[in-house]
Chain A
Amino acid sequence: MADQAFKIPEYREFPTIPALVPGAMAHSKPYVANEKIQAEMGFPGQLVDNWEEKAIEKFGELLGKYRSLKVFMDSCVHCGACTDKCHYFISTGDPKNMPVARQDLMRSVYRRYFTLPGKLFPSLVGARDLTKEVLDEWFSYFWQCSECRRCSVFCPYGIDTAEVTMAARHIMDSVGYGQKYSNEIILKLNKIGNNLGLPGPALENTLEGLEEDVKDDTGVDVKYPLNVKGAEVLLVTPSADFFAEPHIESLIGYGKVFHAAGISWTLSSYASEAGNFGLFNGSYEHMREVALRVRKAALELGVKRIVVGECGHAWRVAYAFWNTLSGLGAGAKDPFAIELQNQLDPRHMQPSHICEFTWDLIQQGRLKFDKEKNDHRIITFHDSCNVARASRMGNYPGGQFEIPRNVIKAVANNYVDMAPDTICESTFCCGGGGGVLTDDLIELRVKGAFPRMEALKQVADGQGVNFMATICAICKAQFSKVLPYYGFDMRLVGGVHQLVSTAIRLGDEQ
């Protein structure tokens, strides 16, 4: 890692709030989406001539459509509670990475165009015209937010910078200033069915190969079925699970759970992606388009249950938004949603998280484990931000913290938590979420991981932790990449179902 052009943050003996370093990350910006990508997304190919007017028009439209945005623009009192909560601020000291300052990039424009004092006395209330410089600043700093919601936990009014970031990105998209990485991914999903652009036949080959590998490894015929009509469960999982390391280890684990419990299941090539990057760009329509694929696949395959694999933002969208977007849940009244409601088994939560699914089976005594097979590991758990602060598992608040830990403790003997102010609702983002998991933002990613790396270092040095389990494809990809920058082995990160996979008894051997 000697060739990088930036300084990696150094571990601190006494973590303190950094002094401000104005402009420290002003140079950070992702690649701009080209004309072709933008056009296919239904956005202008490049910055339109009257972009200022269009942007303000869009801003006004969003203020009318999203109460969150309107209330958040009006309510901030600049108290400073959030200023030291963002992982990007902690690691860079750039004041514009303080959540309130990030919001103010947009709030200053709001005040100028939508409030009386901002129109009359702009400098008094910190109102600014939307100039090209301001727009460029938006493009830089709204792509330095991973939409992790940590700031919203600590805000006395619950102001969620993620909502502001999403709105800003949506406005930029609509005037022709999109981000290449996220928009490309949404297009791939819409065309092929998953973020990686893995077509059906390739997926089939991959799964067949996986079956052979598992057979070689265990001697058992564990199936990884694709497009099987009439299966009990449709598993929707991030496409990284199909071939990326360590993701695939968890996919192997899911298959083993279904096998051991004797529950029929299938993947869908049409809906071969749990991720939904529409969330990151604040585009309701794109998010809905992606979500509808799952409903369609579920109807075609006639499944009784829908289970979502290990992915943070995907679980947020599935848990909190699928019902709204596609009627997958209770209460929707359109014909497709009603058909789906009649088809799905009402005794189960729809959708369920794979950890909920596995934990249910464990509680019913339907899974058996050889826990000592995980004895070479001392395990900690990294709460993924979208699971922790934007969703739930089980039927009680906080289940999203307990259930994955319960699963780990059921399959392994050595478990320790990281420092309390870095886990559960206070968890630190991996640094790569929210649409910044791209190599053109590698500096941001490496730095953003710093608070998590410090907490990990503590338990690695103190308790000998050598495995950090997580339930998010982005966390896994991000950590695999940045762990070496901090002196860790990249294989230190893995999935919860990777641990399940190691210890589970497949049943056939008894």
Chain B
Amino acid sequence: MTMFLAILFYLAFVIFVAGVAYKIYDFARTPAPLSIPTTPAPTTKGGVALRMAREVVFFESLFKSNLWIWLFGWLFHMALLLVLIRHLRYFTEPVWNWVVILQPFGLYAGFAMAAGLAGLWVRRILVERIRYISTPSDHLMLVLLLLIALSGLGIKFFMHTDITAVKVFFLGLMMFDIQPLPSHIGLYVHLLLVALLMIIFPFSKLLHAPGVFFSPTRNQADNPREVRHLAPWAAQIEKN
């Protein structure tokens, strides 16, 4: 199982990084031929950075739209961030100081993350409009994330594993020196699901994470009278 998971993680890592990098390249190379920020929009690049920061950190548009979705969605994402930060301790030696400071919060964030996901799923099932637009993959994605959160919490709080050995495994993995992983069903489930998540990331709606930064309605400055926006293919038309 150690070997299987080691290979799986190498594979998942490559697919995740290469896939997301390709999508980012793909978004970046596609021109935005017209100035289409949703107005009122900032008129400067600095203003755009601020708007984007509000969007990514506070989910500003979602807040305007629907408080329930905002509450669960924001809770889930912020908790996920803390959980990910906490997990850095399994990949660094010595553990970075700021991770040490934040890691107790990451512990409880696991519960918040599960709660946020559960809230989103309940809405997906109970709110008629959202149920209508949901595909099977929308439900499965929430199930996957929820199982990752629950299995992680399970390992921590109910059926301990030798976490030091897990850390040795991952540090070894990073040095191409594969070390034995504790035999632990909860751990296996957790790691398998995380690898699965990494593999489907570049092919799924999880692309909203890089996508938001490339969204022309949010990342363009409102300056069309001052600056000319011309896509290469549009410039070609002018020559004809």
* Interface set of A (CB-CB < 8 Å, partner B): 17, 19-20, 63-68, 70-72, 74-85, 95, 98, 100-101, 104, 115-117, 123-126, 149, 152-160, 163, 284-285, 288, 319-321, 323-324, 327, 329-332, 334, 349-351, 388-392, 395-398, 400-401, 425
Contacts and interface: CB of A to CB of B under 8 A. Distances in A.
Contacts of A334: 238
Contact of A156 (B31, B61, B127): B61
B128 A80 contact: no
Contacts of B104: none
B234 interface: yes
B226 interface: yes
Contacts, number: 223
B146 to A, nearest CB: 15
Contacts of B214: 67, 71
A389 B38 contact: yes
Contacts of A98: 129, 132-133
Interface of B: 23, 26-27, 30-36, 38-43, 55, 59, 61-62, 64-66, 69, 73, 120, 123-124, 127-130, 132-138, 140, 200, 203-205, 207-208, 211-212, 214-218, 222, 224-231, 233-234, 237-238
A397 B222 contact: yes
Contacts of A388: 39
Contacts of B41: 392, 397
Nearest to A336: B238
Contacts of B66: 80-81, 84, 154
B39 A82 contact: no
Given A320-B224, A324-B230, A397 B132 contact: no
B134 A67 contact: no
Contacts of A80: 66, 69, 123-124, 127, 129-130, 133
A83 B128 CA distance: 10
Contact of B207 (A63, A75, A83, A323): A75
Nearest to B36: A68
Given A79-B69, A154-B64, A397 B217 contact: no
Given A75-B205, A124-B137, A319-B224, A392 B215 contact: no
A330 B39 contact: no
Contacts of A66: 30-33
- Counting chain B CB atoms within 10 Å of each CB, the highest count among A20, A63, A80, A84 belongs to A80
Contact of A157 (B32, B140, B212): B212
B61 A153 contact: yes
A278 B66 CA distance: 34
Contact of A124 (B30, B73, B136, B231): B136
A324 B238 CA distance: 11
A79 B130 CA distance: 7
Nearest to B43: A397
Contacts of A76: 205, 208
A211 to B, nearest CB: 32
Contacts of A123: 136
A82 B35 CA distance: 22
A397 B120 CA distance: 34
The 5 closest A-B pairs by CB, nearest first: A75-B211, A126-B135, A331-B228, A154-B65, A397-B40
Given A79-B73, A284-B237, A330-B227, 6 more contacts: A158-B217, A284-B34, A288-B237, A321-B34, A329-B228, A397-B222
Contacts of A81: 61-62, 65-66, 69
B197 to A, nearest CB: 14
B138 A70 contact: no
B224 A323 contact: yes
A17 B129 contact: yes
B135 to A, nearest CB: 4
B129 A331 contact: no
B65 A82 contact: yes
B38 A149 contact: yes
A323 B134 contact: no
B38 A158 contact: yes
Nearest to B132: A95
Contacts of A104: 133
